[in-house]
Amino acid sequence: MLLGCLFLLLLSSCKTQETVMDTESTLYIKQDGKIESLVVEEFPEDQYSAEELQSRSQEIIDLYNQDHGNGAVHLNSCEVRDGYAYVDLLYRSADDYAKFNRVELFYGTVGEGLEKGYGKKTTLKNAYGTNMLSGDAIADLSSYHMLVVSEPLQIRTEEAVLYYSANLEHIDDRTVRVSSESNGEAILIVK
């Protein structure tokens, strides 16, 4: 049971309170730098109860928060319906998301991302597919925000999508998806 809950939490993504619950794992990028994730996974209700899932999820969060400060991770909701579990988590920062889930995730300005080595050898396309951007042209966007992620999930932003890497699928003005067949870092630039 513990491994099942931990596995579920490690495959994070998110939803906002005012959004209809997504049907796939989704990462929500907030303007203030907080990250919300909704984990959506098949859930064997005959083996675990929703109460057990919520209790174990809270235990794991409490352990993380003991080492990283109160409020680093918060359990917004946990529910089971139609054979799926929906675990909604709020993270204080992209760094907390990355550490908690043991994945790579960066969110900051393009300038900060380039300093960390992200995007230097990447070609990005704009949301309309009419313009490609690489190298120094990416550096010209240093005040915009960059998201770098390496796990397959849907990503929703509060800001408009400007540019994205080839391993992202453009869904709409504020939504992209990292394919499960994707290799390497997926890079997204928003206003």
Q: What tens digit of pLDDT does each residue of 126-151 get?
A: 988 788 988 888 989 988 999 999 88
The domain of 18 spans 2-101
Provide the mean pLDDT of the chain: 85
Q: Of the residues 101, 128, 143, which one is the last residue of a structural domain?
A: 101
pLDDT confidence tier of residue 187, bands split at 50, 70 and 90: very high
For residues 162 and 4, the model is more confident at: 162
pLDDT confidence tier of residue 44, bands split at 50, 70 and 90: confident
pLDDT confidence tier of residue 181, bands split at 50, 70 and 90: confident
Q: What is the pLDDT of residue 13?
A: 33
Report helix angle 50-68 to 94-101, nearest 10.
120
Of the candidates 167, 110, 97, 104, which has an alpha carbon nearest to the alpha carbon of residue 138?
Answer: 110
* One domain for residues 91 and 37: yes
Per the structure, the count of domains in the chain is: 2
Q: How far apart are CA 156 and CA 172, in angstroms?
A: 9
* One domain for residues 65 and 110: no
Q: What is the pLDDT of residue 3?
A: 33
* One domain for residues 83 and 127: no
* One domain for residues 97 and 109: no
Position of tokens 């005040």?
Answer: 143
Q: What is the pLDDT of residues 52-109, one digit of tens each?
A: 989 999 999 999 999 999 999 999 999 888 889 999 999 999 999 999 999 999 999 9
Could you tell me if 60 and 6 are in contact, meaning their C-beta atoms sit under 8 angstroms apart?
Answer: yes
* One domain for residues 34 and 87: yes
* One domain for residues 93 and 117: no
Could you tell me if 2 and 52 are in contact, meaning their C-beta atoms sit under 8 angstroms apart?
Answer: no
Q: How far apart are CA 29 and CA 16, in angstroms?
A: 10
pLDDT confidence tier of residue 21, bands split at 50, 70 and 90: low
Question: Does 5 have pLDDT greater than 50?
Answer: no
pLDDT confidence tier of residue 33, bands split at 50, 70 and 90: confident
Q: How far apart are CA 110 and CA 72, in angstroms?
A: 24
Percent of the chain with pLDDT over 70: 88
Task: Please tell me the pTM assigned to this model.
Answer: 0.83
* One domain for residues 112 and 153: yes
Q: Of the residues 101, 123, 146, which one is the last residue of a structural domain?
A: 101
